[in-house]
Amino acid sequence: MSAAIKTKAIKSRKDLQNLREAMTKAYTSQTSKIIVCGGTGCVAGGSLKIYENLKAQMENNGLNVEVSLEKEPHDNSIGLKKSGCHGFCEMGPLVRIEPQGWLYTKVKVDDCNEIVEKTIKKGECVDRLAYRIGDEIYRKQEEIPFYKQQTRVVLEHCGRIDADSINEYIAIGGYEAFEKALFDMQPDDIVSEISLSMLRGRGGGGFPTGKKWEQVRRAKGERKYIVCNGDEGDPGAFMDRSIMEGDPHRMLEGMMIAGVAVGAQEGYIYVRAEYPLAVRRLMNAIAQAEELGLLGDDIMGSGFSFRIHIAKGAGAFVCGEGSALTASIEGKRGFPRVKPPRTTEHGLFDSPTVLNNVETFATVSQIISKGAKWYLSIGTPTSPGTKAFALTGNITNTGLIEVPMGTTLRKIIFDIGGGMRGDGEFKAVQIGGPSGACLTKDHLDLPLDFDTLKKIGAMIGSGGLVVMDSHTCMVEVARFFMHFTQNESCGKCVPCREGTKRMLEILERIVEGNGNEGDIELLEELSDTISNTALCGLGKSAPNPVVSTIKNFRDEYEAHVYQKKCPAGQCQKLKKIYIDPLTCKGCSACSRKCPVGAISGKIKEPFSIDLTKCIRCGSCMATCKFNAIKEA
């Protein structure tokens, strides 16, 4: 955490404007900025050590290094910052150099000396740290194909600003929209601006945000609440984590504007406990806003009071569902309830509640600042704006991306994502996590937006895109997701509790080679029943991965059930591993590596595998220097 500068509390609009002016001056007077990525990914790669090392070296060299924005501008100072996630975790730890816009990738502590000597002292680029594709070198971050084709609206600050500094956020125009909403707009104007922008909930459903706010604004009740859903439980999704870590103030600002619009005085952020860094950054951001007087009683003398609390999740996927989430904040088990009444009428503590996800709140301030018209100019007519996606799986550039709604899968996977990783061919992409569906080659040119996907039985979900290649077995993928949902079923309603268990059993026996005739049809029947009768969204959508893989890859299911074969060669139990006696030199390396002692033999004679013991982990194959271990 950067050292907090004691700034006097803001008591009026003028105070905020004065502070902004001072901070903008300080920010622009920094001749250059060194921004070290402090996101979860880069921290794991050692970025904090890089930050400390750069700081020490710059100080030892007598350079005027500034780790936090001072009130008085210092000429020729060099800003050193820890930012949030850049989204290009694969290439981390990342260091960005401004004003040149260079991006250094895979930086190590040993590189710090060269960065200080060359870049900071002489303004030269350390080319060996720049990003390359083949012989092509991309020094500037914006020129890298991964970034070049993105449109960063919600993520624009992620990786650019010090995520622990409210002053820096204010310096680049932060809390301007809140100021506008509080002093220049009537609550009805705010709601209608959001309605006009046609902003739709980024958590998956795509419900119009303006409509939701309108309902809560009109609802009767002494207390109203603003709740931010940061329970990003979909495996393979990390958009919300990156926003909370990289630009926490923007999310707070969105919640505060919502508070003004609907007349709420309290807000809650529900964050997964699996995101410790996001929790820390949010707590710090709230403390800073309280200290400045942007949160609390009678904010800037406006008469509006607002406070934000953090509720940490305790590891239940179902709590991403609205009514389960509010139950959890109330200190109960995360059970969903029957709807209606909706959360907008009976939400948190039985009061009218605005419940939106992180990305939605993070979009609000820009719509208020730049207007609905600007927002409508991005994306498609019915799904305007941008969407952040987490691109993972068998793809070259794993990471976080943001594109206008309506961008095609082809562009995302092949242009931004850099195509497939390894030698596999593109097979499918799972969109929307365990509640979503798979899209195939046939869908590559489909525009990704709420309505188009709904038409083909898929959904955007929160934005996880898991790319799968020809080595991935689709039946195993379906089993994986069913295992996840079954494990996370809260157990309240029978269709989900019992139905997902039975579906998982069937899928398990299919991938183990024990599938029976009629199993595929039984899966379809169960899917239909569960979708129609489960209580909440988690249950209703649980069969989606199974339905869509059967629809698109029925032949793979049939091969497992009837021929007991896995066409992708992934299902361990259907693999037969043997040692080719002609190639084996009898070195015993494999038998020493085998975790279950399934390989035996005499030294210098061919070894053999006991298939009854073998767990098909493949570690012997990776060990053998002579490629003697093969799959049948």
Site residues (CB under 8 A) for another protein? Answer: 40-41, 43-45, 88-90, 92, 232-238, 241, 273-276, 311-317, 328-334, 390, 392-394, 398-399, 430, 433, 464, 466, 468, 472, 480-481, 484, 487-488, 490, 595-596, 615, 617-619
- Show the tokens assigned to 567: 């066409």
CA dihedral 571, 572, 575, 578 (to 10 degrees): 160
Considering beta carbons, is residue 237 or 534 the nearer one to another protein? 237
Considering beta carbons, is residue 211 or 312 the nearer one to another protein? 312
Report the alpha-carbon distance of residue 557 to residue 441 in Å, rounded.
18
Minimum CB distance to another protein, residue 539 (Å): 16
**Residue from 65, 76, 67, 57 nearest 118 by CA:** 57
**Which helix (DSSP H) or strand (DSSP E) does residue 97 occupy?**
strand 95-98
CB 590 within 8 A of CB 599: yes
**Which helix (DSSP H) or strand (DSSP E) does residue 497 occupy?**
helix 494-511
Minimum CB distance to another protein, residue 488 (Å): 8
DSSP 576-624: -EEE-TTT-----HHHHH-TT--EE--TTS--EE-TTT-----HHHHH-
Minimum CB distance to another protein, residue 91 (Å): 9
Minimum CB distance to another protein, residue 568 (Å): 12
- Show the tokens assigned to 212: 């939701």
Distant-in-sequence, close-in-space partners of 194: CB < 8 Å, separation ≥ 6: 209, 210, 213, 261, 364, 367, 372
Considering beta carbons, is residue 237 or 355 the nearer one to another protein? 237
Beta-bridge mates of residue 608: 600
Minimum CB distance to another protein, residue 431 (Å): 11
**Residue from 95, 389, 345 nearest 240 by CA:** 389
Considering beta carbons, is residue 351 or 365 the nearer one to another protein? 351
Report the alpha-carbon distance of residue 304 to residue 583 in Å, rounded.
79
Amino acid, single-letter form, for residue 335:
F
Considering beta carbons, is residue 187 or 236 the nearer one to another protein? 236
Minimum CB distance to another protein, residue 593 (Å): 9
Cα angle, residue 538 at apex, residues 234 and 253 outer, rounded to 5°: 55
Minimum CB distance to another protein, residue 182 (Å): 29
Considering beta carbons, is residue 373 or 613 the nearer one to another protein? 613
Considering beta carbons, is residue 13 or 312 the nearer one to another protein? 312
Report the alpha-carbon distance of residue 219 to residue 344 in Å, rounded.
8
Considering beta carbons, is residue 317 or 361 the nearer one to another protein? 317
CB atoms inside a 10 Å sphere around CB 569: 13
Minimum CB distance to another protein, residue 39 (Å): 9
Strand 266-271, strand 386-393: pairing: unpaired
Report the alpha-carbon distance of residue 560 to residue 514 in Å, rounded.
8
CB atoms inside a 10 Å sphere around CB 188: 11
Minimum CB distance to another protein, residue 320 (Å): 12
- Which residue carries 């991965």 as its tokens? 545
Minimum CB distance to another protein, residue 44 (Å): 4
Minimum CB distance to another protein, residue 47 (Å): 11
Considering beta carbons, is residue 274 or 451 the nearer one to another protein? 274
- Which residue carries 């010090």 as its tokens? 162
- Show the tokens assigned to 16: 């905020």
Beta-bridge mates of residue 438: 430
Considering beta carbons, is residue 274 or 508 the nearer one to another protein? 274
Considering beta carbons, is residue 164 or 488 the nearer one to another protein? 488
